[in-house]
Amino acid sequence: MASKISFDLVSPERLLLSAEADMVTVPGTEGYMGVMAGHSPVVTNLRAGMIDVSIDGKDDRYFIRGGFAEVSPAKITVLAEEAIPMSEMDLAVLDQRIKDAEEDEIAAKTDADRHKAAQLVDDLKLVRAAF
């Protein structure tokens, strides 16, 4: 039997999930990162995207709007700015978020703000494509 990793997904409002997972995939700032039991310790920032949690052959997916992950060989904890189970995600709300992010990109006054908004647009469109 393969080892499992303890996983907690926490948003400002509540603990969304606490489970023993086979693998957790998170949207790191440098790209998506898969985490399994025995992973090297790391703390990383997260960008907007999807978390995929594999438990006994079933996958649960959650939209997050940034945050950070703390990984140890036995546990991963994600503290998300916002987290919503994809099963509860409203397509109209997601489309509005994309539109708002595109408007923020156009209205950005600095290159850094423009880049940040463009990254958010790209991340949200990836979530939309996976819907």
| CATH code of the domain in which 62 resides | 2.60.15.10
Report yes or no: 48 and 123 within 8 Å, Cβ to Cβ.
Answer: yes
Which pLDDT tens digit goes with each residue over 13-37?
A: 999 999 999 999 999 988 999 999 9
94 and 82 fall within a common domain: no
Reply yes or no on whether the pLDDT at 1 is more than 60.
no
53 and 77 fall within a common domain: yes
- Distance CA(17)–CA(5), nearest Å, equals 13
pTM score, whole prediction: 0.82
Which pLDDT tens digit goes with each residue over 46-100?
A: 998 999 999 999 999 999 989 999 999 999 999 999 998 988 888 898 899 899 9
Give the total number of structural domains in the chain.
Answer: 2
70 and 117 fall within a common domain: no
Tokens of residue 35, six digits: 């985490």
40 and 100 fall within a common domain: no
114 and 78 fall within a common domain: no
27 and 54 fall within a common domain: yes
Domain that holds residue 73: 5-86
